[in-house]
């Protein structure tokens, strides 16, 4: 790390100075930067796609799985999606300085709780170049400086996107170092960020596989906003409408198998498994999904292969689904408590009581009722974009948008009071 560490320390110092300068910028200036960024992404589509093609070619040559290549690959539609997400973030109310609450206790003090930026964020991510744009936009909207460290497989794409970010911030008069991308693929850069860069970093956000998140949580010298794997479940209750169950389950698994909101385990109520499972399984199989079931599931759908204990904890990110027959809502909740990652779970049912029991019993960041787990996305929540889905229980949980990247302080106004 002898050569890399001084560069990273310098990035930390510049990010800290930029964070201080960002606090003095106006909401209008931050909005202008975001508008220019959205326009710049559209204008740079050809350059972004060319850089991404180089990343994808190297990834294929290196043997990266097709599921991960899908996360890496950009298309004109995905570039437009990035730009649209930035434009949506630009249209959101600026959270900085917003008054969250205000009251006057018996001592006569006027106490206000005010949103403020966190400061400097280190965002460490893999395979997804769109995170470069999302993270930059959300940090600018929330008044935070950021150091972004992408995976080596999307470095060309991210460099091109980061250049667009730099132009947009400069044109809007924001600090030049507000958003910095680590320009080299060295893995040691992650270790440098985890050190906290001598206190420059206020929060580390990992977005990637289980091994990356585990390393960050084990080694970080700064607070971490956790994003564990998306081991998502869909539970088909005895009162589920068959057509809804078929539609929701197929979408939850097969819309995009490589996203963290994809369902990885299907749970089916024993009381209606013979009514629900064969048709749902036929849809999934026809769409190219491999099914791995327990003994009861395989008795109803003999073409399934046998599930192993490891399947219940697998985030496949591929067209593979584990299937288990359970004893009602209680059985589904017990399975999720034992094997889940706290990300996203869904129930399909026409029974409101069963739905509420499931929603109360499951302790995950997102619980859906009669809707696909693939709605686990900040854009779908109206946040414009997200920096990840937090499975932490402190500070922020679920989709992390601009508001979730703020903290607060108390401003207390008095009239000469002294404490007796």
CA dihedral 126, 128, 133, 137 (to 10 degrees): -60
Count the neighbouring beta carbons within 10 Å of the beta carbon of residue 335: 18
What span, in angstroms and rounded, lies between the C-alpha atoms of 400 and 12? 23
Contact status, residue 160 vs residue 51, Cβ threshold 8 Å: yes
pLDDT of residue 1: 46
Closest CA to 383 of 57, 168, 134: 134
Among residues 250, 191, 252, 245, the alpha carbon closest in space to that of 222 is found at: 191
Give the tokens for residue 104: 């006057």
Give the closest residue to 182 by CA, choosing from 216, 148, 133. 148
CA distance linking residue 400 with residue 125, whole number of Å:
14
Number of helical (H) and strand (E) elements in the chain, helices listed first: 14, 16
Q: Strands 398-399 and 389-390: what pairing?
A: antiparallel
Measured CA distances, 404 to 85, 141, 361, 398 (Å) = 16, 11, 25, 10
> Which residue stretches of the chain have pLDDT < 70?
1-2, 227-228
Torsion angles phi and psi, residue 291, rounded to 5 = -110, 135
Residue 1: Cβ within 10 Å count: 12
pLDDT at 228: 66
Domains of the chain: 3-225+396-413 (3.40.605.10), 232-379 (3.40.309.10)
238/64 Cα distance (integer angstroms) = 40
Residue 230 has what pLDDT? Answer: 85
């Amino acid at each position: 790390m002898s050569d890399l560490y001084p560069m990273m320390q310098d990035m930390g110092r510049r990010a800290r100075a930029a964070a201080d300068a960002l606090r003095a910028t106006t909401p209008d200036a931050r909005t202008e930067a975001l508008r220019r960024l959205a326009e710049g992404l559209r204008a740079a589509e050809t350059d972004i796609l060319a850089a991404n093609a180089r990343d994808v070619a190297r990834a294929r040559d290196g043997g990266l799985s097709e599921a991960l290549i899908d996360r890496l690959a950009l298309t004109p539609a995905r570039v437009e999606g990035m730009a649209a997400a930035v434009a949506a973030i630009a249209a959101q109310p600026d959270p900085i300085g917003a008054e969250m609450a205000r009251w006057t206790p018996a001592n006569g003090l006027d106490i206000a709780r005010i949103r403020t930026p966190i400061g400097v964020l280190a965002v460490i991510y893999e395979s997804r170049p769109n995170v470069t744009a999302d993270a930059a936009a959300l940090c600018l909207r929330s008044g935070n400086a950021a150091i972004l460290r992408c995976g080596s497989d999307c470095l060309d794409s991210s460099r091109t996107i980061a250049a667009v970010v730099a132009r947009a911030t400069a044109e809007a008069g924001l600090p030049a170092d507000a958003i910095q991308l680590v320009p080299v693929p060295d893995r040691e850069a992650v270790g440098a960020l985890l050190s906290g860069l001598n206190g420059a970093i206020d929060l580390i956000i990992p977005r990637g596989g289980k091994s990356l998140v585990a390393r960050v949580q084990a080694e970080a010298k700064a607070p971490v906003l956790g994003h564990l794997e998306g081991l998502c479940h869909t539970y088909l209750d005895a009162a589920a409408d068959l057509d809804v169950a078929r539609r929701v389950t197929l979408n939850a698994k097969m819309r995009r198998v490589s996203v963290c909101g994809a369902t990885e385990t299907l749970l089916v109520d024993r009381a209606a498994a013979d009514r629900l499972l064969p048709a749902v399984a036929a849809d999934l199989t026809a769409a190219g999904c491999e099914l791995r079931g327990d003994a009861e599931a395989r008795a109803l759908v003999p073409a399934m292969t046998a599930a192993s204990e490891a399947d219940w904890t697998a985030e496949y990110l591929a067209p593979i689904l584990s299937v288990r027959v359970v004893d009602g809502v209680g059985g589904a909740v017990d399975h999720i408590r034992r094997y889940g990652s706290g990300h996203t779970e869904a129930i399909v049912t026409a029974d409101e009581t069963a739905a509420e029991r499931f929603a109360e019993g499951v302790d995950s960041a997102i619980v859906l009722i009669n809707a696909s787990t693939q709605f686990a996305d900040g854009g779908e929540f109206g946040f414009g974009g997200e920096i990840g889905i937090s499975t932490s229980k402190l500070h922020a949980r679920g989709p992390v948008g601009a508001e979730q990247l703020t903290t607060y302080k108390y401003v207390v106004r008095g009239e000469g009071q002294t404490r007796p």
